[in-house]
Amino acid sequence: MKRLLALALVTLLTTGCGSMSALNPASWFGGGDTVEPPAELVDLSNLIRVRTLWSKNIGSGSDNQRVKLAPTLSDNRIYVAEHDGGVQAIEMFDGKSVWSVDVDMEISGGAGSGDGLVLVGSSDAELLALSQETGEELWRARVSSEVLSVPVAENGVAVVQTIDGKLFGFDTVTGEQIWIFDRTVPVLSLHGSSSPVISGSIVIAGFASGKLAAVDLLSGDVLWEVGVTAPSGRSELERMVDIDGDPLLVEGAVFVGTYQGELAGVTENAGIVMWRRKLSSYSGLGGDWRQLYVSDAEDSLWAMDPDNGSAIWKNDTLRGRKLSTPALVGDYVVVGDYEGYLHWFDSNDGEMLARVQAGSDAITARPLVEDGVLYVYGEGGRLTALTVEEPEDF
């Protein structure tokens, strides 16, 4: 722990941080309480055949700025943003570009979508809405601080979360602010932000304080709020319990992890904690009603029972490789790593079945899955579509 504290203090001193730090455990080997070199990849004879359907260089990607640029998929198109201001719509079937625009802003959060909009947030505290159909700019709105989350829209309201702990609702037609929900940010927090999730008339969001909240989509009124985990320790560094990964909604339940805290399952309608278990994570969860999948802060991959949080299996062969949020593709769990590799596991027992490289840059954005196809966006700007060939297709 002392080595982690020393590294964090160096980060604070060299970045000139004020009350809010630019701490990011993903920049440290292992991301946990000790600093270890990443696991070396051993030779692997692929037991399944992973085929690349198409691969396309979008542009500069995140440009090594540690921003949350994740693609979104809607109406058979993938919408993707670059840090230097490029936004594109790509056909999901063949990777062909539908439209491409330069929005003249440093994009730090997005792309999100909904209600016919493509949404991106900026480092300069702006939310921008484009037409999904043409890429035409429809409106811009000011927010309180940098946007490191992925905005989302539904039922006439666009929602975005800012790094200073605020959640905004905007009219999707006019761009006028409808409501604001505000929560205090701790003295120190990770350099990142959980992204809000809309479920019907409810917005669910996680905060740097380790709290999870549900607000009414139309009014912003709080419906429930619960502490996923409680800070512990004597220093501010030890008491960091950020929710940095996005909440996962599965059939009336919300699953969320915290850094240096706990993983929890919470009822969507009332915010009642069903279970908690000690596990530090900042990359988010994947899965369904059968099993949850999560990469912990040291990059071990876990499968857990969504009913009670008990561990089903654990694979620690990729420790320190800065794993992405896990994605479930049929019977396989897939994670990306800091060298652009995608690792495919058997969802039943955690056996590693295949490894392919989708580029040389880190994969940190949540992979997308649609109709058995995996879409991954590397930090260098490469977007790739892959699928598993069944044995009869070999």
Dihedral (Cα; 270, 171, 103, 198), 10-degree rounding: 20
Q: Both tokens of residue 137? A: 């700019």
Q: Which fold has domain 2-393?
A: Methylamine Dehydrogenase; Chain H (2.130.10)
Q: Which helix (H) or strand (E) holds 220?
A: none
Q: For residue 229, which of 275, 204, 257, 262 has the smallest C-alpha distance?
A: 262
Task: Output the CA torsion sign for 91, 94, 95, 96.
Answer: negative
Complete edge-to-edge strand list for the sheet that includes strand 253-257: 248-250, 253-257, 262-267, 273-278
Work out the pLDDT band at 164, boundaries 50, 70, 90.
Answer: very high
**What is the DSSP pairing of strand 68-69 with strand 107-114?**
parallel
Is the link from the previous residue into 111 a cis peptide, with omega within 30 of 0? Answer: yes
Does residue 116 carry a pLDDT above 60?
yes
Work out the pLDDT band at 261, boundaries 50, 70, 90.
Answer: confident
CA atoms of 251 and 218, how far apart (whole Å): 22
Q: Which amino acid is at 298?
A: E
CA atoms of 310 and 105, how far apart (whole Å): 45
Instruction: List CB contacts of 391: < 8 A, sequence separation 6 or more.
Output: none
Q: What pLDDT, on the 0 to 100 scale, is given for residue 356?
A: 97
**What is the DSSP pairing of strand 292-295 with strand 301-304?**
antiparallel
Rg, the chain, Cα only: 20
Q: What pLDDT, on the 0 to 100 scale, is given for residue 185?
A: 74
Burial class, 224, CB count within 10 angstroms (exposed 0-12 / middle 13-18 / buried 19+): middle
Q: Which helix (H) or strand (E) holds 111?
A: strand 107-114
Which residue carries 């990059």 as its tokens? 299
Q: What pLDDT, on the 0 to 100 scale, is given for residue 1?
A: 40
Q: What pLDDT, on the 0 to 100 scale, is given for residue 179?
A: 98
Rounded to an integer, the average pLDDT of 169-187 is 90
Work out the number of other CB atoms within 10 angstroms of the CB of residue 202: 17
pLDDT tens per residue, range 186-209: 555 555 678 999 999 999 999 988
Count Cα atoms within 13 angstroms, Cβ side, for 369. 17
* Largest CA-CA distance found in the chain, in angstroms, rounded: 59
Tell me the three state secondary structure of residue 81.
strand
Q: What pLDDT, on the 0 to 100 scale, is given for residue 338?
A: 95
pLDDT tens per residue, range 91-115: 999 999 999 999 999 999 989 999 9
pLDDT tens per residue, range 324-371: 999 999 999 999 999 999 999 999 999 999 999 999 999 999 999 999
CA atoms of 39 and 43, how far apart (whole Å): 13
Q: What pLDDT, on the 0 to 100 scale, is given for residue 91?
A: 97
Q: How far is CA 318 from CA 41, 301, 388, in A?
A: 8, 8, 21
Q: Which amino acid is at 179?
A: W
Q: For residue 181, which of 199, 208, 161, 153 has the smallest C-alpha distance?
A: 161
CB 338 within 8 A of CB 355: no
Burial class, 216, CB count within 10 angstroms (exposed 0-12 / middle 13-18 / buried 19+): middle
Angle at Cα 244 formed by Cα 241 and Cα 247, nearest 5°? 110
CA atoms of 11 and 189, how far apart (whole Å): 12
Rounded to an integer, the average pLDDT of 36-42 is 88
DSSP letter at 392 equals: G
Q: Both tokens of residue 327? A: 């994605």
| Residue of 90 and 22 predicted with greater confidence | 90
Q: Which helix (H) or strand (E) holds 296?
A: none
pLDDT tens per residue, range 216-248: 999 999 999 998 887 666 666 766 667 888 999
Full-model pTM: 0.88
Does residue 373 carry a pLDDT above 80?
yes
Rounded to an integer, the average pLDDT of 151-165 is 96
Domain boundaries defined on the chain: 2-393
